[in-house]
Structure formats: structure tokens, C-alpha cells
């Protein structure tokens, strides 16, 4: 497959059409953004890390019965994926209090939650991706009740799979964001990425943050943190 015209460019990726109308090439960038694009910068090597880590974890999830849009890694930064219609929801699973959950609920950062928390946000940059619940989703027709049931089931199953897998790499999965899409036949599949951009990864011994929070919070060492995740997962 070869890149044709640019179909879409987001904050972290470019998506190109190919000679097959049902296949696209995703090209990962080193551009970094935070706070809905208010903060911008670059994390050197991020595109390589996010592409390779995403594909590694997508393959893992496929082996455990989670359908994804992944087809084939083409290079360190490019991946062939299936054509999907993205469901306009950000699906967040939280295991430990961090980020916006701390300020919204007055929790201490690092507090373990009694059960995993599943949250949805409406993907709309102009509205700053507001939190929504099942009723909002139904009212706005963002997904059907059947699709939402599938999404919730997949998200919690993914949490179980990744939490157990990352434990062997001495990484605690604090929380993570997923996106889902529909294939032309209507089947719901995992799409987008699973990477230090979309997950909070903490070292399970030191508590060191190994994700985009290093960029968000001006902690420094973002390149090293991303590289450490890649090393632990792929050697």
C-alpha cells in the first residue's frame, strides 16, 4: 500500500488514503499538544514510540479477542489500518485518581479507586470535549444503546488485559483513553492509538510518570519516558 492524498490531519497523526478505499495509512508525528491544543510543542521520537507501542498493544488485544482497526505496520511511523467511521466519543477508564478526576472529585493523586471508573466525553474540540453520560449519548445519537454496551464491555476488558500485561513491565496503568469506530458493515472495533499520549503509565516501584504528563506538567524528560515505555514493552 502507498500513501495517496491526505485525508485528515490531527494533533498527533496524519491519515492518508491508499489505492484501496477500505484501507488508510496512519502516520504518527512528533508534535505534542495538551489542554485541547492550548499547549503545543515537540517530543522527539514520539511518533516512532506511539506507532510501535500502539501496534504492539493492538496485536495483543486482537489475540485476546478484541477487534481493532490494525492491519499492518509499514514503517517506524506508518501503519496500515482499516477504514472506520469514528464514533464521536472519548472513552476513558480510570483505575487510580489522576488528572481531571482529582480536581473534579477532590481526590488525592494516586488514590486507588474501589472499582474502575468508565467515563465518556463528546469528541468536540469547540466544546472542549465535555463529559456525557448514557442519556446524553442517546439524546445526541452519538451511539446506539447496543453499540454503547459493546464499547463499555470492550473498554473494561481492555483494562483487564493491559493492566495485567503492563504489570510484568513494572508499569501501573493509571488511566487511559480509547476511541472506537465502525467498519462498513457496522461492526464496532477499537481504533486510534494506545500509547504514552493516551495512557497514564507510572513506574510501579518509583511512581515515576512515563507518559504525556511529563509534557503537560513541564516535568522534563518526556523523550526519555516515552523511550523507556518502548524499551520495556518491545525490548
Q: Is residue 179 located within the same domain as residue 109?
A: yes
What does the pLDDT read at residue 39?
86
What does the pLDDT read at residue 207?
97
Tally the domains of the chain.
2
Q: Is residue 154 located within the same domain as residue 53?
A: no
Q: Is residue 59 located within the same domain as residue 94?
A: no
Provide the whole-model pTM: 0.95
Interaxial angle between packed helices 46-63 and 222-234, expressed in degrees from 0 to 180 and rounded to the nearest 10 = 30
Q: Is residue 143 located within the same domain as residue 117?
A: yes
- The span from the CA of 221 to the CA of 211, in Å, is 10
Q: Is residue 72 located within the same domain as residue 159?
A: no
Q: Is residue 61 located within the same domain as residue 177?
A: no
Does the structure show a pLDDT above 80 at 140? Answer: yes
Interaxial angle between packed helices 145-167 and 46-63, expressed in degrees from 0 to 180 and rounded to the nearest 10 = 110
Q: Is residue 147 located within the same domain as residue 200?
A: yes
For residue 58, give the CATH number of its domain.
Answer: 3.30.200.20
Q: Which domain holds residue 101?
A: 85-221
Longest dimension (CA), the chain: 51
Q: Is residue 116 located within the same domain as residue 187?
A: yes
For 164-209, how does the pLDDT look when each residue is reduced to its tens digit (9 = 90+)?
A: 999 999 999 999 999 999 999 999 999 999 999 999 999 999 999 9
Q: Summarize the confidence of residues 147-159 as an average pLDDT.
A: 98
For 115-127, how does the pLDDT look when each residue is reduced to its tens digit (9 = 90+)?
A: 999 999 999 999 9
Tell me if 191 is assigned to some domain: yes
User: What letters, b where the CB count within 10 A reaches 16 and e where it falls short, cover 47-80?
Assistant: bbbbbbbbbbbbebbeeeebbbbbbebbeebbbb
Torsion (CA) 83, 86, 87, 92 in degrees, nearest 10? 110
Domain end point (choices 82, 110, 136): 82
Number of Cβ within 10 Å of residue 176's Cβ equals 22
Cβ contacts of residue 28 below 8 Å, gap of 6+?
12, 13, 46, 47, 48, 50, 51, 77, 78, 79, 193
Tell me if 234 is assigned to some domain: no
For 79-108, how does the pLDDT look when each residue is reduced to its tens digit (9 = 90+)?
A: 999 999 999 999 999 999 999 999 999 999
For 26-77, how does the pLDDT look when each residue is reduced to its tens digit (9 = 90+)?
A: 999 999 988 877 789 999 999 999 999 999 999 999 999 999 999 999 999 9
Q: Is residue 16 located within the same domain as residue 92?
A: no
Amino acid at each position: 500500500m502507498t500513501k495517496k492524498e491526505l485525508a485528515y490531519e490531527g494533533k498527533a497523526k496524519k491519515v492518508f488514503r491508499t489505492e484501496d478505499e477500505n484501507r488508510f495509512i496512519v502516520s504518527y508525528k512528533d508534535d505534542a499538544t495538551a489542554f485541547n491544543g492550548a499547549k503545543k510543542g515537540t517530543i522527539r521520537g514520539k511518533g516512532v514510540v506511539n506507532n510501535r507501542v500502539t501496534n504492539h498493544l493492538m496485536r495483543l488485544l486482537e489475540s485476546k479477542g478484541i477487534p481493532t482497526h490494525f492491519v499492518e505496520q509499514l514503517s517506524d511511523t506508518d501503519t496500515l489500518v482499516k477504514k472506520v467511521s469514528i464514533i464521536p466519543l472519548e472513552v476513558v477508564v480510570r483505575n487510580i485518581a489522576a488528572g481531571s478526576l482529582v480536581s473534579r472529585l477532590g481526590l488525592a493523586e494516586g488514590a486507588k479507586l474501589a472499582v474502575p471508573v468508565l467515563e465518556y466525553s463528546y469528541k468536540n474540540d469547540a466544546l472542549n470535549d465535555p463529559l456525557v453520560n448514557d442519556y446524553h449519548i442517546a439524546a445526541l445519537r452519538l451511539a446506539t444503546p447496543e453499540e454503547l454496551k459493546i464499547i463499555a464491555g470492550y473498554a473494561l476488558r481492555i483494562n483487564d488485559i493491559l493492566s495485567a500485561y503492563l504489570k510484568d513491565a513494572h508499569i501501573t496503568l493509571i488511566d487511559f483513553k480509547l476511541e472506537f469506530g465502525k467498519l462498513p458493515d457496522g461492526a464496532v472495533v477499537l481504533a486510534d492509538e494506545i500509547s504514552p499520549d493516551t495512557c497514564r503509565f507510572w513506574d510501579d516501584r518509583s511512581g515515576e510518570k512515563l507518559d504525556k504528563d511529563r509534557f503537560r506538567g513541564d516535568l522534563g524528560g518526556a523523550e526519555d519516558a516515552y523511550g523507556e515505555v518502548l524499551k520495556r514493552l518491545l525490548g
